Each structure stands twice: as C-alpha cells, then as structure tokens.
Amino acid sequence: MKKSLLALATMAVSLTASATSLQTVYEQALQNDPQLAAAVASAQATQESSSIALGGVGPSLAFVADMYQTSTEIDGTTTDSNSHSYGLQFKQPLLNANSWYTYGAASSQAEAGKIQNKMAYQDLLVRVSEAYFNVLRAQTTLASAKAEEAAVKRQLEQTEQRFKVGLIAITDVHEARAVYDGATVTLIAAESQLDIAYEALAQLTGERYDSLDALKADIPMTGPGPADRTLWEQEALSNSLNIQAATKARDAAVSNHKAKRADHLPTLDLVASHSISESDTGTYADKEITTTAVGLELSVPLFTSGSQYASSKQAYYERESAEKDLESAQRSTLLQVRSYYRQLEADVARVKARKQAITSARSAQDATQTGYEVGTRNIVEVLQAQRSVFAAERDYETARYDYVIDLLKFKQAVGLLSPADLQEVNGWLEATKVSG
C-alpha cells in the first residue's frame, strides 16, 4: 500500500520488449506523419510563388513558328499561296509597376511559406510529445486502476472472512463488493483508454508500440526563467512564428493592393525578334527572308469596364483583413505566453502540493485502517481512504506530465521551440521495460 504508482507500474515488467523513447517516436513521426507531409508540401508550394511571379518582371524568350495557306479572290480570279516563318522573340519589361508589386507580394508569400514550414515542424514536436505523454498518463491511470482493484479485492476477501466468523454485519460485505465492482469497471475503462492513447500515437508514426520510456522520478521542476513575464512577451513578439507568418501575409496583401492600383498605369517593354520566312507568291517568291527587329512597346490601358476599380477595392479589403489578422496573431500570442507562463508557475506548485497530498493520504489511510480494526471506522471509510491514496499518486504523476507539455507549449508560443528541447525532455525519461 505504500508503493507509488511508478513502483506499481513496474509490476508489469516485460523481459522481452524494450520501451521506446520520445526521441525515437519523434524521428519516426518526421518520416511518417501525413499531417506534417501535407503541411510541408503546402509550404513548399507557397514558396514557388516568387519564382512564378518572376516571369512578370524578368526577360522571356520564345520560339515562334507559323505556316499559312491563303486563298485570295480578285475579280473572279482566285490565287492560292503558301507561306511559313519561324524565329525567336525576346521581351524584357522596362516599366511595369503591376508586375513588380506582384513580384513583391509573391516574395512575401514565399517567405510566409518558409515560416509555415517551420511551424509545421514545431507543431509536430508538440503533437508527438502530447501523444507520448498521453500514453504515459493512460499507463499511470491503468496502473492505479489495477492497484486499486487488487487492494479492494483483498479488502473484500478479508471482509467476507470477518463476516463468516461473525465479526461484522453482512452490510459491510455488500458495501465492499459494490466498491469492488466499481473498481473493476474503472479498470476496464482504463485499459480501453490506454489502447486508444497508443492508437493516437501510432497515427503520427504508423508504428504500434508495446511500451514507452517512463518519466524519471526526479526532473527539473522550475518556472520560466528569467521570471519576467514582460521579457517573455517581448521575446514572443520578436520570435513567434505565428506573428512572423501573419506579418508576411500582411506584406503580401499590401503589395498586392499596390499592384492592383497600378493596373491603370502604362507599361513599357523592350522587344526584339529574329525570324526567317518564305512565301511562294509576291516580289520575293520562293526566297528566304531574314528579319531582325528591336524596339519599344508601349501599352496604355484606357477602359476595362470597371474591373480595375473592383480589383483594387477587393485588394484593399484583403489588405485590411491581413492587417487585422496580424493584430489578432499578436494578441493571441501574448495571451498564450501569459497563460502558459502562469500555468507553468502553477504546475510547479501543483506538483509539490500533489506530492505532499500523497503523504497525507497515506497517513489518513493508516489511521482509518487502525480505526477499522478497533471498530471505530467502517469498511466504506477504509476503502475510500485506499482510493484517496491511489488518486493522490495518480494526480501527482498527471501533474508532472502537464508540466512537461505546458513547458513545450510555452516555448512554442514564445517562438523558441526546437528539437533540442525535445532532446532535453527525452533526457528526463528512463529506459524501462514497462509493458503497455
């Protein structure tokens, strides 16, 4: 009855299956998580935006060929002719504000794609860690349920023996059996929850695990350092990937708005061509004609039925939306940093309190058991005291798991989360052979 849940968990030791570490699970998820693969592919597609938009401001060279068969009728006389030509056409925009602003918008989108790629990897790190510790949480719950079921069963057997020799009433037996039935139901539910937690983890990696490394009994339990929330808020405003992505999206919207407003401006292009043609009619019939031309091409938009104005208004509203999204991202990030900062401080205090609660629950259990043996306490009180001990141990382990996850989420909110943080957490685990 004095054992902690970590000790109870080792009762299910497997001599053949080695536990899997958090680092191993993360590396497998990097290769197999479909959500990460989709996010990375989407980010890479976004990064191609600038290369696509470059076509609007860079030079272009095209091979052009044509062949015509012409029939001409003059005063009832029909003349057929054939002609063909081929050559190269070169074009370099010299003055095109729309294309340059469009290229600027695409460049911002490409930068946003790079940031989204980083966000996808940070998100995977948190999702893997959360799923991993959810398995440990479910293991703890199952270990508690098994220990409680075994303890209640022993208490039920003792109660039945005491009834048989006439020391207690039959009501004590019924009460003990009711508690035992409840413990059995709890055990079944805990087994199901552990299996579900393993399946959730397998969804990230495509691998099914038999057991995982457990969290060490002693891990560093400290709040955010330095203990200055304002400093962390400023750090988040500078490093948060959410804010950086929203900033690039705003920049893209601003450039796109400028591009739409520039639609009515004239454009000037340098054009050059070199072609070879031949025709079977005319002055130079059946002769090869080579033509080279270099010049400037000016285009001035005059009327577009109001589409340019509508496009400009649409881009303006998109710009307004992007600016508000940036403001929302900043506020959301600050809220997350403040929340996780406080949560980490609370987690540290909660773990200490939960550990003390175990000592108190055990003392209360001993007192209740003694009272029951001398007749001042009943069986229900004894069983409740036992359950309080198991609950205190379970809550203590759960509080430790909450601390680890909240620590990673805090670093993610600040924008400083990296694989090195996962490696640090992995160092807090011990290579057990505890079967799931």
CB atoms within 10 A of CB 256: 24
In angstroms, the CA 127 to CA 339 distance is 19
Q: Is 214 helix (H, G, I), strand (E, B) or coil?
A: strand
Domain spanning 5-10+18-67+84-430: which CATH class is it, in words?
A: mainly alpha
Model pLDDT for residues 15-27, shown as the tens digit of each residue: 335 689 999 999 9
Q: Which residue has the higher pLDDT, 372 or 40?
A: 40
What percentage of residues in the chain have a pLDDT greater than 90? 65
Model pLDDT for residues 89-137, shown as the tens digit of each residue: 999 999 999 999 999 999 999 999 999 999 999 999 999 999 999 999 9
CB atoms within 10 A of CB 358: 20
pLDDT of residue 7: 52
Q: Where are the domains of the chain?
A: 5-10+18-67+84-430
What percentage of residues in the chain have a pLDDT greater than 70? 94
With beta carbons less than 8 A apart as the criterion, state whether 102 and 256 touch. Answer: yes
Q: What are phi and psi of 123, to 5 degrees?
A: -60, -40
In angstroms, the CA 253 to CA 47 distance is 16
**Dihedral, 23, 355, 229, 324 alpha carbons, nearest 10:** 60
DSSP 3: -
In angstroms, the CA 164 to CA 158 distance is 10
Instruction: For residue 159, give the H/E element and its range.
Output: helix 97-164
For residues 276-288, average pLDDT: 80
Q: What are phi and psi of 168, to 5 degrees?
A: -135, 170
In angstroms, the CA 169 to CA 155 distance is 15
Global pTM reads 0.83
Q: Record the tokens describing residue 232, joined without a space.
A: 């962390």
Average pLDDT over the chain reads 89
With beta carbons less than 8 A apart as the criterion, state whether 181 and 430 touch. Answer: no
Least confident of 237-241, 326-330, 374-378: 374-378
Q: For residue 381, is pLDDT > 90?
A: no
